[in-house]
């Protein structure tokens, strides 16, 4: 973040504008709406800065603009020289005004036109009477604080009120009715609301693959309990003051044992917290969400499950491998290659059936045993297979081969990042498809080595990191 965003109270304070013409007039208008007292001049003189809270210059001689910038910064007065970022101590943002709600957008002076484009997009989304919601909350602010002294309870009530009937009435222009509905809701508000836990799938990593419900809950949570595989970009979507508790787990290396995680969720809910248990992928697909849900149910804690995009779906979408295909696979099997108590407990006969795709989670360390077991159960060693690292993150890499060759090819290629293995005829049916930059990538049956050299049988057009 190049510039720190802040909002200045200019009501009754003096704003200096140097220059003349359309640009200066355009900059003067938002200052006037903010209640500033305008002082304008076509040329700069240092005396004009006396008593000034903010200064803006445009369409004036170069020497005047530079002198304004130097003198204003020497005095500690915020100064903006329009379209001259090197002379500015602050950026004049594009503004969405829903008084008292204000949204400011800046590109750090790099592309003011882009800031205006973003503003126009936001304008189409925000209701014209959005400010009425803020006004409604403001009218009851003191009363809400007295009625609900506990911050989580107060926040939960305001979320429900502004998102419910009182807020709907305010947006519709029915201010009197909105106030009545708000007051009625406040009368029955619970000063000590029961805690709740949401088991939320964070998806494969890309923040824009979160569901809308997951995004909303992240904005409402008092506490976020998250795993190692939850990306920073996803955590950044959460409310800034939410408490974050890391309980990351890797294979055979648990930061916090599962039993302690279960107890933590119960304890937080019993304290009245709104908890988001954020898990990579989907909570109920090899995420131990079932165990957490059972522990919460046993303790009488209200909980809900919010699904997420699981790795198999994300890897398939990003690599172009169809998980099912009318001519190749009419079933999809999800299986974990993670051992329990050192034993690989897999029904190889069921996995080796024809006409299905097998998606193996956490199978890198046991890949040789998995491949041997599938081949021993009758699956052809030439069956197409692929390993995808970091699928669904935008930084995925893919290694293609066959069931017989993949275990050896993966040595030296795998980086230790989260990986999914796909086995089945569908792996060989990934179509020619454009990359985000427009080039065509043929990743069918490409085999990449970790040392950058093409392994036997690899396609020169598709080797390396692939999709």
Residues with a known catalytic role: 227, 249
Give the Cα-Cα-Cα angle 223, 193, 146 (nearest 5 degrees). 100
Contact 17, 28 (CB under 8 A): yes
Structure tokens at 7: 């909002």
The candidate with the shortest Cα–Cα distance to 467, out of 402, 394, 374, is 394
Q: Kindly give the pairing relationship between strand 274-279 and strand 37-41.
A: unpaired
Question: What gap in Å lies between CA 307 and CA 210, rounded to an integer?
Answer: 9
CA distance 279 to 201: 5
Instruction: Tell me the Ramachandran region of residue 56: left when phi exceeds 0, alpha when psi lies from -120 to 50, beta otherwise.
Output: beta
Going by C-beta distance under 8 Å and a sequence separation of 6 or more, which residues neighbour residue 372? none
Q: With beta carbons less than 8 A apart as the criterion, state whether 412 and 449 touch.
A: yes
- Dihedral of the alpha carbons of 200, 202, 204, 208, in degrees to the nearest 10: 130
């Amino acid at each position: 973040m190049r510039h720190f965003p802040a909002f200045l109270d200019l009501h009754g304070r003096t704003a200096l504008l140097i220059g003349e013409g359309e640009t200066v007039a355009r900059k003067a208008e938002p200052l006037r709406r903010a209640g500033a007292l305008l002082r304008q001049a076509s040329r700069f003189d240092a005396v004009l800065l006396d008593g000034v809270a903010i200064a803006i210059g445009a369409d004036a001689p170069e020497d005047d603009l530079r002198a304004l910038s130097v003198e204003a910064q020497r005095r500690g007065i915020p100064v903006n020289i329009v379209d001259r970022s090197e002379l500015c101590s602050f950026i004049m943002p594009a503004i969405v005004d829903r008084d008292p709600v204000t949204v400011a957008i800046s590109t750090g002076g790099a592309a003011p036109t882009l800031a205006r484009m973003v503003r126009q997009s936001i304008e189409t989304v925000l209701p014209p009477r959005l400010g009425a919601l803020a006004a409604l909350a403001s009218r009851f602010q003191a009363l809400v604080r007295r009625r609900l002294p506990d911050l989580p309870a107060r926040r939960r009530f305001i979320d429900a009120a502004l998102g419910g009937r009182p807020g709907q009435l305010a947006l519709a222009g029915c201010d009197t009715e909105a106030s009545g509905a708000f007051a009625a809701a406040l009368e029955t508000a619970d000063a000590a609301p029961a805690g709740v836990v949401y088991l939320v799938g964070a998806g494969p990593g890309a923040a824009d693959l979160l569901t809308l419900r997951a995004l909303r809950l992240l904005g409402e949570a008092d506490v976020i309990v998250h795993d190692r595989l939850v990306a920073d970009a996803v955590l950044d979507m959460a409310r800034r003051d939410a408490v974050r508790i890391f309980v990351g787990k890797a294979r055979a290396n648990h930061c916090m044992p599962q039993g302690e995680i279960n107890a933590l969720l119960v304890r937080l809910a019993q304290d009245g917290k709104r908890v988001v248990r954020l898990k990579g992928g989907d909570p109920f697909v090899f995420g131990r969400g079932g165990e957490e849900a059972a522990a919460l149910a046993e303790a009488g804690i209200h909980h809900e499950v919010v699904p997420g995009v699981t790795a198999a779906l994300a890897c398939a979408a990003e690599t172009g491998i169809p998980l099912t295909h009318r001519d190749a696979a009419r079933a999809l099997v999800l299986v974990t290659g993670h051992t329990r108590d050192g034993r690989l407990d897999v029904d190889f006969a069921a996995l080796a059936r024809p006409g299905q795709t097998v998606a193996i989670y956490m199978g890198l360390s046991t890949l040789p045993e998995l491949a041997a077991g599938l081949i021993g159960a009758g699956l052809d060693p030439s069956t197409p297979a692929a390993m995808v690292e970091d699928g669904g993150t935008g930084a995925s890499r893919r290694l293609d081969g066959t069931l017989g060759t993949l275990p050896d090819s993966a040595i030296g290629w795998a980086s230790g990042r989260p990986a999914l293995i796909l086995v089945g005829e569908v792996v060989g049916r990934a179509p020619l498809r454009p990359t985000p930059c427009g080039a065509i990538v043929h990743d069918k049956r490409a085999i990449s080595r970790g040392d950058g050299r093409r392994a036997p049988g690899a396609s020169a057009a598709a080797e390396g990191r692939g999709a």
